[in-house]
Each structure stands twice: as C-alpha cells, then as structure tokens.
C-alpha cells in the first residue's frame, strides 16, 4: 500500500511542490547572502559556476557520448579550482558520479576521470609553486618596506609551511 502511494502520480506532484518550497527556503535564507554581499567572497560564485559547468559537461559526455565533454569538463574544473580552493568540491562530485551514477564498466569510468585528475595535478602544482613565490615575495617586502632583517624558519611540527620571523635592525639609531 505504501509502495503504491509513493509511485502514484499525485505523490510525484507533491514531492515536486515540496522540493520547490525547499529550494525557495534555501534561496531566501540570510546565511547565503554572504557569498553575494561580501566582495572578497566573489571567488566562491566563480568556483561554483565553473564547478556546475564541469558537472553538467561531464554528465552529458558520459550519458550521450558528447566528444568535447572531456576537454570542456577539464577546462571548467581548472576554472573552478583556479577561482578558489573550494573548486576541489567539483572534483569530488565527478568521483561520486563515477562511483554511483555511471553505469559503464569500471575501466571506462576510471579512464573518463584521468583527464580531470590531470587537471587537478596541474592546479596543485601551480598552487604549490605560487605559494612558494608568495613566501619569497613576502620576505622581500618585509626587507624593503620596514627595514627588518628577515629570517625564514619552519613552523614547529611542520616542514612544508614557512613563517617569516624578523627583528628590527639597529641601523640609524
């Protein structure tokens, strides 16, 4: 009896109305206004936009065999990740799609994800290289603008992150 009620057309209309009401409540919730209202958070909008494009193009490529899909998905994924670190969430969605929604054989699913993993590795390399450049640049800025003598030392317990420690020189008084 419950199963017949769930599969009835009236239940589907009710579920659609409930989903619409839930989407409306989500849209007008004031907790989501920070993304739009705070100018420094605009990266989240761009990251989400490119992430959604990546998911749509990946789905179309896998379901319909759309040839440009793999390239466009990787390009959109790069856009999402270069817009913000939250773009890595799009990669997680692609993995979840491959695990649960894709009906192709396992080898085909893994092969479809390889270009996207490559795009993530390109982003990761750029992220790490850019971070090192920023640290080196911050040492130069400390030296040039404040006339501090910089020392770069590792944080306690971590070997990859660096902290700039400095003391003011006694030059000139």
Q: Distance (Å, rounded) from C-alpha 54 to C-alpha 89?
A: 11
| Secondary structure letter of residue 7 according to DSSP | T
Q: Distance (Å, rounded) from C-alpha 26 to C-alpha 42?
A: 19
pLDDT tens for residues 61-89? 999 999 999 999 999 999 999 998 889 99
Q: Distance (Å, rounded) from C-alpha 28 to C-alpha 11?
A: 26
- Number of helices and strands in the chain (H, E): 7, 2
Q: What is the mean pLDDT of residues 94-98?
A: 95
Where are the alpha helices (H) located in 66-151, listed in sequence order? 69-83, 88-96, 106-146
- pLDDT of residue 141 exceeding 60, the answer is no
Residues 83 and 43 sit within 8 Å (Cβ to Cβ): yes
pLDDT of residue 10: 52
pLDDT of residue 9: 53
Q: What is the mean pLDDT of residues 124-148?
A: 57
Percent of the chain with pLDDT over 90: 43
pLDDT tens for residues 21-64? 888 888 788 777 777 777 778 888 899 999 999 999 999 999 99
- pLDDT of residue 142 exceeding 50, the answer is no
- pLDDT of residue 164 exceeding 90, the answer is no
Tell me phi and psi for residue 29, to 5 degrees: -65, 130
Task: Find all residues with CB under 8 Å of 73, minimum gap 6, and list them.
Answer: 54, 57, 58, 61, 94, 115, 116
**Looking at per-residue confidence, does 50 or 150 come out higher?**
50
The four Cα atoms 123, 124, 126, 130 give a dihedral, to 10 degrees, of 130
**What does pTM read for this prediction?**
0.63
């Amino acid at each position: 009896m419950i199963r017949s009620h769930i599969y009835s057309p009236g239940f589907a209309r009710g579920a659609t109305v409930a989903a619409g009401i839930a989407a409306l409540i989500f849209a007008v919730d004031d907790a989501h206004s920070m993304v739009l209202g705070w100018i420094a958070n605009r990266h989240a909008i761009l990251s989400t936009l490119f992430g959604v494009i990546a998911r749509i193009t990946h789905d179309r490529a896998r379901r319909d065999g759309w040839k440009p899909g793999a390239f466009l998905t990787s390009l959109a994924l790069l856009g999402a990740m270069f817009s913000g670190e939250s773009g890595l969430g799009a990669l997680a969605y692609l993995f979840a799609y491959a695990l649960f929604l894709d009906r192709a054989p396992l080898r085909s699913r893994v092969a479809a994800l390889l270009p996207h993993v490559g795009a993530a590795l390109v982003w990761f390399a750029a992220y790490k290289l850019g971070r090192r450049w920023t640290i080196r640049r911050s040492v130069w800025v400390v030296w040039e603008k404040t006339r501090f003598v910089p020392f770069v030392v590792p944080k306690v317990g971590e070997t990859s992150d660096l902290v700039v420690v400095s003391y003011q020189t006694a030059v000139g008084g």
